Amino acid sequence: MIKREIKHFNIEQICRSGQCFRMEAMEKGRYRIIAGSRYLEIFQSGEICEFYCDDRAFENFWFDYFDLGRDYGACIEKINPRDTYLMQAAEFGSGIRILHQDMWEMIVTFLISQQNNIVRIRRCVQNICEAYGKVCVTEDGTVYYAFPEPEVLAQLDEDDLKACNLGYRSKYVVRTARAIADGEVDLDRISRLSYKKAKEELLKLFGVGDKVADCICLFALHHLEAFPRDTHMNQVMEKHYKRGFPNRRYKGMQGIMQQYIFHYELFGKQKE
């Protein structure tokens, strides 16, 4: 077990922020995360976090996964104090971090996310993993399912994933899996590209539009300049940023600001 005091880290906020769909609450303060074929449990009380893994796993994987090397307080300090809306959003979601997730998993996840809600997305991802993922067992006997590889889903018929509640999105996932398995799409190459070029390549995938491409760039490739926008986010921009979001001021951290806004719109307004 690794114990750390971490500022601007709130596992509950991260869990419900809409960037990861294999993270869930187990009991008060305790969460579990499945990333690819890895499994982690976290217990948090205030700024004290307990990561139930060994030193090697923490340093080589989870430290980067949770972006623990970044000073999110410094990002918040750069917010224009006259922008009361963004100040409120950042204060409300100050424990959010941009996760550094697997690109293939994010491609599938955000193909599923189209015209969908967080609860249903979680269920769809779980269904796929249980149906096609490798069965894994932790040292204490906990059974979980790894995220299925592209080669596995590439063998399916285009409508097979409808059984996992994907609906019309089934063909998006299967066709993309085939493109990757056949070598038409090289994820390693895309991972080395700039944000602009990576997004251009992702837009070539069947079913991937601007918003999905930006989500993949932000949550997998960690291009923090990505700013995913759907219809709801466009409404927010029209209401609060009629002249456009101040990208120059927040250069290199636009995606962090987007997450503060997204989370605030989902949960902050309920408390007003």
Candidate list 204, 211, 239, 251, residue with the active-site label: 211
Phi and psi at residue 83, in whole multiples of 5°?
-90, 80
**C-alpha gyration radius of the chain:** 19
Do 214 and 225 form a contact (C-beta atoms < 8 A)?
no
125, 169, 178, 243 from 151: Cα distances, Å: 17, 18, 7, 45
What is the token pair recorded at 252? 């290199």
Phi and psi at residue 35, in whole multiples of 5°?
-125, 110
Query: In this structure, what DSSP letter does residue 31 have?
Result: E
51 three-state secondary structure: strand
Cα–Cα distance measured from residue 109 to residue 123, given in angstroms and rounded to the nearest whole number: 11
127, 188, 196, 200, 223 from 193: Cα distances, Å: 32, 9, 8, 10, 10
Q: Is residue 211 among the annotated active site residues?
A: yes
Amino acid, res. 30: R
The H or E element spanning position 231 is helix 231-240
Q: Which residues contact 40 (CB under 8 A, 6 or more apart)?
A: 32, 33, 34, 51, 52, 53, 57, 62
What is the token pair recorded at 211? 């918003």
Catalytic residues: 211
